[in-house]
A and B are shown apart, each in its own frame.
Chain A
């Protein structure tokens, strides 16, 4: 899996958009970008993933740069319940069976 780099922590005001960056400059052509989040002491929750195109679901949007070397997870209207550690992972899926987690970004949503 390509190495990913994320800021250690970020703050966001409740109701505002939270934009979480991730650098994956060595990502290979068949590797997807996955985002998970983990609320304290719970299991990681899948958020979204993408390969080249931008993706949106009910939780978030994923913007991947054209060169695929970086991406941004966007939570459009952050709430206090979005406070969590967010992990960005590059993984090709299929037979590449393991997810390699870094330390992630602690997002704190403030009232």
Chain B
């Protein structure tokens, strides 16, 4: 069974730039959720994609957008980067429509630093 993978591991950008983060879901999973974790805080939900459609969104501005592909991998795009976007970005995959609970399994994260 292949776990959740994310790329890149680390990334440094400057304010105003755009960034794309990538996630490959665990084998057999059809749902990907993205979270942002600022230093010293718990992860905060950004949005979820299920079968290529956005399935829910947290309190993040529209410059945070995403995609899910037919193979269920996903991208998180952030435009017009701000200093406060510096964080660990986490991707989690799950199987919706399977068991009654959809346990989310997390990847290792991408550390984004905005200068």
A residues apposed to B, CB below 8 Å? 32, 34, 36, 41-46, 49, 87, 91, 93-94, 97-104
Contact = CB atoms under 8 A, between A and B. Distances in A.
A31 to B, nearest CB: 10
Interface of B: 4, 6, 31, 33, 35, 41-45, 48, 50, 55-56, 58, 88, 90, 92, 96, 100-109, 111
A94 B96 CA distance: 7
A42 B108 contact: yes
Contacts of A97: 31, 33, 45, 48, 50, 55-56, 102
Nearest to B41: A103
A98 B90 contact: no
A49 B42 contact: no
Say whether chain A's binding surface is mostly helix, strand, loop, or mixed.
Answer: loop
